[in-house]
Amino acid sequence: MSKLWGGRFARETDVLVHEFNASLPFDRRLVAEDIRGSMAWARALVGTEVLTAAEAETIVAGLAQVQVEFENGTFVFDEGDEDIHTAVERRLTEMMGEVGGKLHTGRSRNDQVATDFRLWVMGAIDHLQDSLTDLQNALTESAAANLNLPMPGYTHLQHAQPVTWGHWILSHFWPLVRDRERLAQVRERTAVLPLGSGALAGTAYPVDREWLARELGFTAALSTNEVAVSQNSLDAVSDRDFAADFLYAAAMIGLHLSRLAEQLVLFSSAEFGFVRLDDGYSTGSSLMPQKKNPDTLELTRGKAGRLVGHLTGLLTTLKGLPSSYDKDLQEDKEPVFDAFDTLRLTLPIMAGLIRTLTLRPERMAAQLEPGLLATDLADYLVKRGVPFRQAHHLVGRVVQVAEQKGVNLTELAVAELQTVSGVFGEDVTAVFHIAASLSNRNVTGGTSVEALASQLAAARLAVAREP
């Protein structure tokens, strides 16, 4: 097996060590970025007089050919290829001869891999942003369709106060706004060019790093289109903050999807029955013919664990490393690739599941019991001058009276309410309506018709806005 670095070695690498050392099985995913980076590097070398313009263009054309071989599946790996960088360069040199061998001048795989990986993560973020936007649209569509449909709201998973379907489903929309902001921030921090850092000490050839940054799209702040170039070569070849940032953003997305999934598992159970999952998004049991299982949601919940694991795994890998490159850093790619693959599937599946969900308003209505209005009863007393603490206590007593009689709060006669407090009057029955409770909460973020309409409008605006 011939190695690109084989000059000083008298004996071949042990077979198992080769396998252990190689990253090709997973980093072949960086091929497009590797070729893009190399094309830019070849052109940057023209300014340093290492390559003539004609030589650089020959190399660029050769790299384009290598790209074609990858695209049509004719690229043949050599058993000595240890990673995608060596594979591409080896093939280029095979095709071009001596001029191909000039490409790696002034460059190291250390600044090369950092560049390729950053480019890949930037592309992955763009993809996830689109999927998140689509899921956000699915959520606002569902909210719009049943914005004011009343349902019980919960704290501690116990009946608390009335809310609406629109209100509830949008509670899972806003976390995704934060996820998109977070990803946009990660993208900015990722778009800083390490190329030109060499192995650790900077390249000895006077390449124009600003030109390289612009050429490769390392414009940290997309809005200002300002190029960003790493300022310390030792840091640049070992900085994997962007990968950890990406994994944190991915773990947060996973966590948000998991919470939505968990609540839908509950809501689709026989006991709640608020929603019915579409057949396309649920699965059956091999034994029990009647079963329709929310596997899709359970997997979504389960995969959050895997995403959190990737983050803790990478942080642990990074924590003891000195500055500059160490081979531990090769462990950065698999968790990032897997986090992306996980979300690439989970996000559109969740969007489809939401779009095909059937609501069961009658099951929600059946749970809208008067106990949900106890706070409104206390508010009634407050409006008549009773301090809230006392009102809370008095309504607690009303609840007790109702429980002793075995009736609902709303079934007590006004005279019975008056045994607890003389402040209760005939008009108290106006409180006993779910709609009244909803419309009383007429603040931004509340449940009134107007508040929900403006929340939905704000949500639509947030989707349309670039994070």
Q: CA quadruple 147, 152, 155, 160: dihedral positive or negative? A: positive
Residue 159 backbone dihedrals phi, psi, to 5 degrees: -50, 130
Query: If binding is defined by CB under 6 A, does position 329 make contact with ligand ARG?
Result: yes
Q: How far is the CB of 20 from ligand ARG (least distance, A)?
A: 12
Q: How far is the CB of 115 from ligand ARG (least distance, A)?
A: 11
User: By rule CB under 6 A, what string of x and - marks binding of each residue 78-117 to ligand ARG?
Assistant: -----x-------------------------xx--x----
Point out the catalytic residue in the list 104, 108, 156, 286: 156
Query: If binding is defined by CB under 6 A, does position 23 make contact with ligand ARG?
Result: yes
Query: If binding is defined by CB under 6 A, does position 118 make contact with ligand ARG?
Result: no
Q: How far is the CB of 78 from ligand ARG (least distance, A)?
A: 15
Q: Are 359 and 275 in contact (CB under 8 A)?
A: yes
Point out the catalytic residue in the list 285, 393, 437, 448: 285
Nearest CB to ligand ARG, comparing residues 29 and 306: 29
Instruction: Enumerate the H helices of 158-269 as residue ranges.
Output: 165-170, 174-190, 209-216, 233-238, 241-267
* Look-up of token digits 């049509």: 72
Nearest CB to ligand ARG, comparing residues 84 and 343: 84
Helices 31-46, 84-96: axis angle to 10 degrees equals 60
- What 280-287 contacts at long range (C-beta under 8 Å, 24+ apart), as own/partner pairs, is 280/352, 280/356, 281/349, 281/352, 281/353, 281/356
User: By rule CB under 6 A, what string of x and - marks binding of each residue 335-374 to ligand ARG?
Assistant: ----------------------------------------
Q: How far is the CB of 332 from ligand ARG (least distance, A)?
A: 7
Q: For residue 359, give the 3-state DSSP assignment.
A: strand
- Among 330, 418, 439, 440, indicate the residue that binds ligand ARG (CB under 6 A): 330
Between the alpha carbon of residue 150 and those of residues 176, 273, 366, 438, the distances in Å are: 24, 15, 11, 8
Q: For residue 385, give the 3-state DSSP assignment.
A: coil
By CB under 6 A, which span of 260-268, 324-332, 375-383, 457-465 interacts with ligand ARG?
Answer: 324-332
Whether 2 is a known active-site residue: answer no
Q: How far apart are CA 398 and CA 416, in angstroms?
A: 9
By CB under 6 A, which span of 280-288, 323-331, 357-365, 451-459 interacts with ligand ARG?
Answer: 323-331
Q: How far is the CB of 30 from ligand ARG (least distance, A)?
A: 9
- Cβ neighbours of residue 257 under 8 Å, at least 6 residues apart? 300, 304, 346, 347, 350
User: By rule CB under 6 A, what string of x and - marks binding of each residue 157-196 to ligand ARG?
Assistant: ----------------------------------------
Query: If binding is defined by CB under 6 A, does position 30 make contact with ligand ARG?
Result: no
Q: CB atoms < 10 A from the CB of 108, how many?
A: 20
DSSP-assigned letter for residue 283? B
Nearest CB to ligand ARG, comparing residues 25 and 284: 25
Total residues in contact with ligand ARG, by rule CB under 6 A: 10
Q: For residue 115, give the 3-state DSSP assignment.
A: helix
Nearest CB to ligand ARG, comparing residues 118 and 180: 118
Whether 171 is a known active-site residue: answer no
Nearest CB to ligand ARG, comparing residues 90 and 182: 90
Q: How far is the CB of 109 from ligand ARG (least distance, A)?
A: 4
Q: For residue 151, give the 3-state DSSP assignment.
A: strand
Segment 382 to 421, residues that bind ligand ARG, using CB under 6 A: none
Query: If binding is defined by CB under 6 A, does position 31 make contact with ligand ARG?
Result: no
Q: How far is the CB of 85 from ligand ARG (least distance, A)?
A: 6
DSSP-assigned letter for residue 163? E
Nearest CB to ligand ARG, comparing residues 314 and 329: 329
Nearest CB to ligand ARG, comparing residues 23 and 263: 23
Nearest CB to ligand ARG, comparing residues 110 and 190: 110
Q: How far is the CB of 40 from ligand ARG (least distance, A)?
A: 18
β-pair partners for 163: 151
- What 452-459 contacts at long range (C-beta under 8 Å, 24+ apart), as own/partner pairs, is 452/147, 452/148, 452/164, 452/166, 452/167, 453/147, 455/166, 455/167, 455/170, 456/140, 456/143, 456/144, 456/147, 456/166, 456/170, 459/136, 459/139, 459/140, 459/143, 459/170, 459/173, 459/174
Q: CB atoms < 10 A from the CB of 168, how many?
A: 21
- Among 267, 272, 325, 340, indicate the residue that binds ligand ARG (CB under 6 A): 325
Nearest CB to ligand ARG, comparing residues 327 and 465: 327
Q: How far is the CB of 178 from ligand ARG (least distance, A)?
A: 31
By CB under 6 A, which span of 174-182, 309-317, 326-334, 346-354 interacts with ligand ARG?
Answer: 326-334
Instruction: Enumerate the H helices of 47-108 as residue ranges.
Output: 53-71, 84-96
Q: How far apart are CA 355 and CA 350, in angstroms?
A: 9
- Interface residues with ligand ARG (CB under 6 A) are 23, 27, 83, 109-110, 113, 325, 327, 329-330
Q: Please give the positions annotated as active site.
A: 156, 285
